[in-house]
Structure 1
């Protein structure tokens, strides 16, 4: 039953990471900065689902939206020049499929285990999907076919009588954390690709964090937030050290932080009384943070941390050119590789300020929830 409930979620996440979220299939077409064309309509649609959509309308709209996402995925491979339009259509349609997959995940008798299995299995299958030696002309239809799993799955009727209603206090932290993650990944991935000790090994740290988080989830759910903060602060401190080893370890730490936060976010959303509203609003805030982090990363480029505010305020032209060039044909200029010595120019106060910001958001979120049994995850208290 755990695997059955997780299967639609796994299939959706594999499609999400393989195509629209700057997946390996999309980057092969040269659409480097096209993720915002997917995220902006995706965020808007998720917000509408969480704020105004009646629950009874979700299954039919998930079928229609899923068909649009499948068609858009197939058209991306056939007409790369239309990538921005196809990604926008996929962003709207897949939002309904995403919320439906989350609702199915809640049917499991062990919701926390299903969430962890879904995250681990999705990332493992993505790695296998990338490694299979078949042409990309075959992988695009295969990725589109994955969406049929959540589309055809029966959502069923969920009992919403029990559950929590403490989603709002934690959303600002999730938003800020996703912005920080976007900035870190934007700064690290290019260097990591050139200095990776063993490409693909970073996935092990994500999986290990999810499995360790599942054990900690039975004690106190908010402990996963604390671990995500610690790992993110550790990654920030490592970028001050010169050398490829620090870049590798920094990315490993960010992967672990992402694993802790992803499991926490799923546990928080699945513990809410209204699953449809929780997934709509919660994932809208999460994706909005990713979009904001990507936008800031495009504006900042290779600048050191002390010049980030100036670069963001004075570079809208560079940002627009980067976005609209994703569908253009012909060669495009790429950013030069960052020398290792660039990180030495960071002020020592930069990581400390980021750490204090994350810690402040965490303390405010935890302070808004009464430290009683209700504060514990309903996933645990329901009898897991």
Structure 2
């Protein structure tokens, strides 16, 4: 089966990120304070450069070099002393090809988004184990070698068909806004949570449950998932302003759930878009860039959580409102397009099951056009139309086009 092998590099890489460069327990144990900021800064710059200049065949070479370099540099962190931040910046460069490669590997699984969710959950479960004092001594020896385990399966990240839509870059703005405010939030929330946590590690199940729920929500309405993540973050901000042990814990739980929703949203967005180096590079650069921006901005702001909470809540409210208006306009546009094509708007229950592109294809077919005419109208190949129709039939539970048309004739 391809699934375990496709998922393994991504799982291993996420675990390494959580335990080392992203202010993980190993980084803290080695006394490297603030290392994640310098890792993210160079990581984002390298991702953008790869997306702009590196083709798929060259990426395979950089993956091999990056895996070896990242492992060796991670091994050097405990003894780096005053050079630790410089070393973190170099690791940010060497790890960038691995970020793109491991995410792209998920395409080889039968259900990429679901696979990504289970990998995130498994990595967080193992993170909780690593944080346990019972098994702690073995991990500083093993984890630096984890980047090497992403290398055995080196796939080529290239456009494999033309049936996936291009990356919806408008959504990246909302992800970027969330990650900025998330970085600000965690900068003030983590110290308070460290002093008042009921049980350290109790926040991780909320992230995992949110990721699991996000898979189902994304399939029905990806805008709803994004708005849900923003809403959970706003609730976390509100709770943080109240103060007190209970509300600080609840604030962390809500923020972890919000982060799980947005992380899964971005991965699903990338995995359902055209497969290319640029798609993954730019999408992941937005994720890392937002986190880095939030961390650097937090250094320049006052240490009062009230200021951060008010500013963060305002930004999130504006982002959520903008998203709602955009979604409302898109729905009206879809309805107008369907009516102008001579076919009535699709039932809401059907629209919830299909992507925007699939809705457009189905609307054209229901208007009486054949595959060749639909392909000409959408400027894609006839085989792509057939692929879309197969996916539509699978999602709607019918065996072929004739049965599909017969069912819609009854509506």
TM-score by length of 1: 0.82
Query: 2:151 maps to which residue?
Result: 151
CA contact (8 A) 1:235 1:253 kept: yes
What CA distance in whole angstroms lies between the structure 2 residues aligned with 1:361 and 1:75? Answer: 46
In the TM superposition, what is the alpha-carbon distance from 1:145 to its structure 2 partner?
1.7
Deviation of residue 376 (structure 1)? 7.0
Distance 1:157 1:46 in 2: 14
CA contact (8 A) 2:60 2:156 kept: no
Q: Distance in 2 between matches of 1:180 and 1:381?
A: 38
What is the match of residue 223 of structure 2?
222
Alignment correspondent of 1:168: 169
Given that residues 217 and 224 in structure 1 are in contact (C-alpha distance below 8 angstroms), is that contact kept between their aligned partners in structure 2? yes
Please state how far the C-alpha of 1:89 moved relative to its aligned partner.
1.7
CA distance in 1, matches of 2:61, 2:392: 33
Equivalent position SS for 1:131: coil
Q: In the TM superposition, what is the alpha-carbon distance from 1:361 to its structure 2 partner?
A: 4.4
Note if 1:375 corresponds to 2:356. Answer: yes
Q: Secondary structure at the match of 1:294?
A: helix
- 5+ unaligned residues in a row in structure 1: which ranges? 309-345
Q: Return the alpha-carbon distance in structure 1 between the equivalents of residues 176 and 217 of structure 2.
A: 23
CA contact (8 A) 1:12 1:146 kept: yes
Give the aligned partner of residue 62 of structure 2: 61
Distance 2:283 2:10 in 1: 16
Distance verdict in 2 for CA 1:15–1:113, change over 3 Å: same
1:244 aligns with 2:245: yes
Q: How many pairs are equivalent?
A: 342
- Between structure 1 and structure 2, the one with the greater Rg is 2
Structure 2 CA distance, aligned partners of 1:8 and 1:252?
A: 28
Deviations along 1:336-373, one digit per CA (max 9) or x if unpaired, are xxxxxxxxxx7xx6565234222144236645796574
C-alpha distance in structure 2 between counterparts of 1:113 and 1:90, whole Å: 29
Aligned counterpart, 2:324: 363
Q: Counterpart in 2 of 1:10?
A: 11
CA shift digits 1:154-200 (9 cap, x unpaired): 31576232211142111111111001111111111111111111211
Secondary structure of the residue aligned to 1:22 is coil
Secondary structure at the residue paired with 2:134?
coil
- Change in 2 beyond 3 A, CA 1:132/1:227: same
CA–CA separation in structure 2 for the residues paired with 1:283 and 1:49: 12
Structure 2 residue matching 1:198: 3-state secondary structure = coil
Give secondary structure in 2 for the equivalent of 1:200. coil
Q: Pairwise mapping of residues 321-332 of structure 1 onto structure 2 (< 5 A)? A: none
> 2: distance between equivalents of 1:255 and 1:382?
37
Asked if the contact 1:5–1:114 (Cα under 8 Å) also holds between the matched residues in 2, the reply is: no
Residues 1:354 and 2:335 aligned together:
no
In structure 2, the partner of 1:44 is 45
How far, CA to CA, are the matches of 1:376 and 1:2 in structure 2? 27
Higher relative contact order (CA 8 A, sep 6+): 1
CA contact 1:29–1:80 (8 Å) conserved in 2? no
Question: How far apart in 2 are the matches of 1:382 and 1:140?
Answer: 50
Matches within 5 A, 1:27-176: 27-131=28-132, 133-134=134-135, 138-155=138-155, 159-176=160-177
Kept after mapping to 1: 8 A contact 2:229/2:261: yes
Q: Distance in 2 between matches of 1:70 and 1:96?
A: 13
SS at match of 1:152: coil
> Structure 1 residues 209 and 382 mapped into 2: Cα distance closer, same or farther (>3 Å)?
farther
- SS at 2:209 equivalent: helix
User: Distance between the aligned counterparts of 1:381 and 1:100, measured in 2?
Assistant: 30
- Cα shift at 1:205: 0.4
Q: Deviations over 1:108-148 (max 9, x none)?
A: 11112111111111111121222263565x42331122112
Quickly say closer, same or farther: Cα 1:276–1:364, change in 2 above 3 A. farther
* Pairwise CA distance, 1:29: 2.3
> Do residues 260 (structure 1) and 261 (structure 2) align?
yes
Query: Which residue is equivalent to 2:381?
Result: none
Equivalents in 1 of 2:152, 2:330: separation in Å? 40
**Paired residue secondary structure (1:8):** helix
Displacement after TM superposition at 1:64 (Å): 0.4
In structure 2, the CA distance between the partners of 1:254 and 1:19, relative to structure 1 (3 Å rule), is: same
Aligned with 1:76: secondary structure? helix
* Cα distance in 2, alignment partners of residues 192 and 286 from structure 1: 24
Note the aligned Cα RMSD (angstroms).
Answer: 2.4
- Distance in 2 between residues matched to 1:225 and 1:100, nearest whole Å: 25
Is the 2:129–2:135 contact (alpha carbons within 8 Å) kept by the matching residues of 1? Answer: no
Question: What's 1:270 paired with?
Answer: 271
